[in-house]
Amino acid sequence: MGKRSHGEGSISKRNNGTWLAQVSIEGRRVSKTFKTRKEALEWVTATTRQVKHGLTYSSAKTTLDELLESWLILKKNKLRPATEEFYRRLSRLYISPFMGKLKLQEITAARIQAFYEDMERRGIGKRTIEGVHITLHGLLSHAHRLGLVAQNWAALVEVPRPEHREMSVWDESQVSQFLMTIRDNPFYRLAFATGMRRGELIGLQWKDIDWNTGMIQVRRQVYEPEGGGFIFQPPKTERGRRAIRLGRGLIESLRSHFTETIPRMVAIAGETWNDYDLVFPCSNGKPRNGYNVSKEFRELCTRAGLPVIRFHDIRHTAASIMLLHGEPPVRVAAILGQSVAVLLSTYAHYIQDDQERASRLMDEITTPASIEIQSEKIATDCNN
């Protein structure tokens, strides 16, 4: 028998009653056994179609798990630790158990769609499914660039989108009630005054504060990997690296914290103190644990007799109060470290709608000026 041409396939019945399907890819045979002739024929048809669209021998032999691991290693140096961990966690919990053993040539849009629908039926949240889709889309995009799959099948499926989560914010009186309950606590005072993220507050260092100008520099945040420990890393975007001016009262609160509270903490810790120059360290000088900070905040909400909100909602509260008081969106966006477009899409309903003032302004501008002109007899050169 002569050598089969690229993409040519065949099926044959074996002695045990099963059917052997074969397709030639790049001069080498790829085989698979099926229980029925129909299944074998469908596989040959689908595989030869993929060969015509660029399927290679490598992709016919490579499993999704094998490609996934090599892709994650490749992405390790390009991604922030939190993003890499996000991909690995979703891959381990969801993608590998369902699709990891499949050959790349067996991945189709229909299989991916069935995967997402199965996740929904099992009650897995839509945000998690969206995260899985982001991971799988990135992986198959990489595979397509390498020529391992005919196209990015994840781009062809319908993804259940998570519902918009309403923000929970406090008003000014609730913020005052909370801060009065916990006395002069500069950590929460700074959080409500600036809307800084939890990791940014935890990672703030004394060298970031200019006592003369009252400015603080947001240069880093603390990330806590799943295995424990902590990492200092720069903000996610350039806008995240920002300067924020503080009021005199807050600067004095931080100064007291620096001259009184920190020395007392160092004395109590003794030799166990770790000097990371942190403004808000835990009892041994290391960064505070983010989970514990959020837990503490929930307990303080209850103690203050206020509705329990997430720590991240402090950020939303700060933004809403500034906007309700008429602070320009561009200034609020700069303080939060985000784009004006994101700010407007998130907090548009908190921006003062002073259309009456705008209408008066434009009415004045567009009303023609009334100029009284004395009638005079105008001579012309025209012939009567």
Is the pLDDT at 248 greater than 90, yes or no?
Answer: yes
What pLDDT is attached to residue 27?
63
Contacts of 269 (CB under 8 A, 6+ apart): 283, 284, 285
Helix, strand, coil percentages for the chain (3-state, nearest 5): 55, 10, 35
Is the pLDDT at 271 greater than 50, yes or no?
Answer: yes
On average, the pLDDT of the chain sits at: 85
**164, two tokens:** 């918009």
Name the β-bridge partners of 9.
Answer: 23
What pLDDT is attached to residue 262?
96
Instruction: Encode burial over 43-52: b for 16+ CB neighbours within 10 A, e otherwise.
Output: bbebbbebbe
pLDDT tens column, 20-67: 888 776 666 777 788 888 888 877 777 676 666 555 555 557 889 988
Is the pLDDT at 2 greater than 80, yes or no?
Answer: no
Can you give the pTM of this predicted structure?
0.72
What pLDDT is attached to residue 1?
40
Residues 302-307, mean pLDDT to the nearest whole number: 96
What pLDDT is attached to residue 146?
75
What pLDDT is attached to residue 211?
95
CA–chain centroid gap for 141, Å, is: 19
**114, two tokens:** 């069935």
What pLDDT is attached to residue 4?
46
Is the pLDDT at 6 greater than 50, yes or no?
Answer: no
pLDDT tens column, 189-236: 999 999 999 999 999 999 999 999 999 999 999 998 877 889 999 988
Contacts of 347 (CB under 8 A, 6+ apart): 316, 319, 320, 323, 329, 332
- 116, 156 Cβ separation under 8 angstroms: no
Is the pLDDT at 369 greater than 50, yes or no?
Answer: yes
Is the pLDDT at 253 greater than 90, yes or no?
Answer: yes
pLDDT tens column, 91-150: 999 999 999 999 887 888 999 999 999 999 999 999 999 999 999 999 999 888 877 787
What pLDDT is attached to residue 26?
62
Q: What percent of the chain has pLDDT over 70?
A: 86
Confidence of residue 311 (pLDDT cuts 50, 70, 90): very high
Lowest mean pLDDT among 156-170, 194-208, 366-380: 366-380
Per-residue CA distances from 329 to 176, 194, 251, 316, 318 (Å): 23, 14, 24, 14, 13
What pLDDT is attached to residue 286?
96
Lowest mean pLDDT among 70-74, 300-304, 333-337: 70-74
Lowest mean pLDDT among 39-43, 286-290, 294-298, 303-307: 39-43
Is the pLDDT at 344 greater than 90, yes or no?
Answer: no
Confidence of residue 161 (pLDDT cuts 50, 70, 90): confident
What pLDDT is attached to residue 83?
86
- As a whole number of angstroms, the longest Cα–Cα distance in the chain is 119
